[in-house]
Amino acid sequence: MLIVSEEVCQEVVGRADAFGAVEAVFAAMAKGDAYNFPVIREAIGHADALYGFKSGFDKAGLALGLKSGGYWPGNAAKGITNHQSTVFLFDPDTGKIGALVGGNYLTAIRTAAASSISIAHLARKDAKVLGMVGAGHQAAFQLRAAAEQRDFEKVVAWNLHADMLPKLGAVADELGLPFEAVEREQLGAEADVIITITSAHEPLLMADWIKPGTHIACMGTDTAGKQELDPALMKAATVFTDEIAQSISIGEAQHAIAAGLISEADITPIGDVINGEHPGRTSDGEITLFDGTGVGLQDLAVASAAARLAEQSGKAASISL
């Protein structure tokens, strides 16, 4: 079996690789060729940790496996990342383990790929201002990936903890994009594309603040109880997602569904747009919204790419079990 370390993943998997792998698996999911198994996530009663598995099988890409990991809040004090994960890939023909792949960098790059795929397929072509809500670990990856999808001329940003914004501003600077910290209402008034990537449990953006034609990638809400948007914004928008089952239970749509503002039938898998089964945006004034919940198949897709690229470049270690 191959062993691909975190460092090697960073060396061999670029944003374009992640975009291609995740776009292909979203397309396969919408065709019924790839499916996620039920997610397991448990408080283990030790070190305040949450631990679990995300798994699935992509028949089209022949990726079978799982991502195992979770959240250890005490890690930062030990100098390591609170979120920890590892991907295990198996040979779908024999069940033998194929690769063990570090999952931390891959989680960030596959999540950024998801929102950038939504921008590529749903945002107006003439989008000029990118709005960032959130400035944590994921936000820098999100900004870099989004910046490649449209000819943005400016980034406006808001974060609850304002002291985190300069770090995101430095990323914008590297990309040659002017960066301005603004209040949320102004962000809504200016931005053509908005990414939300926070741990919020209450609406951060109200429906009245968002201008017609905006595309929103809502990426932070991945657990029951988390929330970033006014449910009325979901009602006003055309809603797309990675997986409907997750969108309505742990994604942003959970709140609009609970309030009776939208139903499951109002949500379209983004794979349908990728496959040409749904037109996506149909007018310049339409608000489009991608509810990115994060599925195990995304992890398997980028881990498969990592294993392939690491093997090709001679950077994977190999052992027999």
Of 31, 54, 59, 67, which is the active-site residue? 67
* Closer residue to ligand NAD (CB): 36 or 111: 111
Choosing from 55, 85, 104, 107, the residue that interacts with ligand NAD (CB under 6 A) is: 107
What is the C-alpha to C-alpha distance for residues 204 and 154, in angstroms, rounded to an integer? 21
Q: From the centroid of its chain, how far is CA 258? A: 23
- Closest separation between CB of residue 126 and ligand NAD, Å? 27
Stretch that binds ligand NAD, among 3-11, 37-45, 272-280, 287-295 (CB under 6 A): 287-295
Is 31 an annotated catalytic residue?
A: no
| Residue in 66, 78, 85, 74 with CA at minimum distance from that of residue 49 | 74
Residues from 109 through 148 that contact ligand NAD (CB under 6 A): 111, 134-139
Stretch that binds ligand NAD, among 119-127, 191-199, 232-240, 265-273 (CB under 6 A): 191-199
Quickly count: other Cβ atoms within 10 Å of residue 6's Cβ.
15
- Closest separation between CB of residue 159 and ligand NAD, Å? 5
Told to check if 271 binds ligand NAD by CB under 6 A, we report no
Q: Amino acid identity, residue 120?
A: A
Written as one string, the DSSP assignment of 170-198 is HHHHHTT--EEE--HHHHHHH-SEEEE--
Name the DSSP letter for residue 57.
E
Told to check if 169 binds ligand NAD by CB under 6 A, we report no
Residues from 13 through 52 that contact ligand NAD (CB under 6 A): none
Written as one string, the DSSP assignment of 238-258 is EEEES-HHHHHHTSTHHHHHH
The set of residues, in sequence order, having a beta carbon less than 8 Å from that of 38 and lying 6+ positions away, is: none
Choosing from 56, 293, 300, 305, the residue that interacts with ligand NAD (CB under 6 A) is: 293
* Closer residue to ligand NAD (CB): 98 or 292: 292
* Residue showing tokens 């943005």: 152
Tokens representing residue 1 in the block = 């079996």
Choosing from 219, 229, 256, 305, the residue that interacts with ligand NAD (CB under 6 A) is: 219
Active site residues: 67
Residues that bind ligand NAD (CB under 6 A): 107, 111, 134-139, 159-161, 164, 197-201, 204, 219-220, 222, 292-294
